[in-house]
């Protein structure tokens, strides 16, 4: 009985403070993540400053338009960056960035005005650009709304593994 209680307490601590299982809803992060996939997010790394939020990270955050909802997107711009989208091409600090995670068929030709990312905020976009509601529409995400980094797919089993 003691071992069972200890195991449950350790599992609860891991889920509450380190990793949290999350179900992906929607197609905005395809092909990296698909609708109904199950992933683990690392809540520890950003909360305690173990790691900074960097370009290319897949982050889970409270949607600024309705904080009862969570979104997952890729970080494009960090504080101090300038981000502009010209007919689908992303310009970061004036230079077009390579985005191997966005297949040609998921690109769109939408433009978004130049945004200077303010301190404590992040510019995020989905990988499936033609199906993503992201910073191009509603602006940047405050740092305090970001609560996890997507790190591992555990369902379906054929896609099990680390996220990049």
- Respond yes or no: is residue 28 known to be catalytic: yes
- Respond yes or no: is residue 159 known to be catalytic: no
Domains of the chain: 41-152 (2.10.109.10)
Candidate list 28, 43, 132, 135, residue with the active-site label:
28
Query: Is the Cβ–Cβ distance between 23 and 36 less than 8 Å?
Result: yes
Mind giving me the DSSP string for 96-164? Answer: EPP-TTS-GGG-----EEEEEPPTTEEEEE-SSGGG--SHHHH--EEGGGEEEEEEEEEESGGG-EE--
pLDDT tens per residue, range 70-120: 999 999 999 999 999 999 999 999 999 999 999 999 999 999 999 999 999
pLDDT tens per residue, range 23-70: 999 999 999 999 999 999 998 888 777 789 999 999 999 999 999 999
Candidate list 43, 73, 135, 149, residue with the active-site label:
73
Q: Which residues contact 154 (CB under 8 A, 6 or more apart)?
A: 21, 38, 39, 40, 160
Q: What is the distance between the terminal CA atoms of the chain, rounded to a whole angstrom?
A: 40
């Amino acid at each position: 009985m003691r071992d069972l209680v200890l195991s449950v307490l350790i599992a609860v601590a891991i889920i509450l403070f380190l990793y949290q299982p999350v179900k992906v809803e929607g197609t905005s992060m395809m092909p990296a993540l698909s609708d109904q996939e199950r992933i683990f997010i690392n809540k520890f790394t950003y909360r305690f400053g173990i790691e900074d939020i960097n370009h290319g990270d897949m982050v889970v955050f409270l949607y600024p338009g309705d904080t009862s909802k969570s979104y997952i997107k890729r970080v494009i711009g960090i504080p101090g960056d300038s981000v502009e989208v010209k007919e689908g091409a992303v310009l970061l600090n004036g230079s077009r960035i390579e985005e191997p995670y966005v297949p040609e068929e998921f690109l769109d030709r939408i433009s978004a005005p130049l945004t200077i990312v303010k301190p404590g905020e992040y510019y995020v976009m989905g990988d499936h650009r033609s199906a993503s509601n992201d910073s191009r529409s509603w602006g940047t995400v405050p740092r305090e709304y970001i609560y996890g980094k997507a790190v591992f797919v555990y369902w379906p089993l054929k896609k099990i593994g680390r996220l990049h």
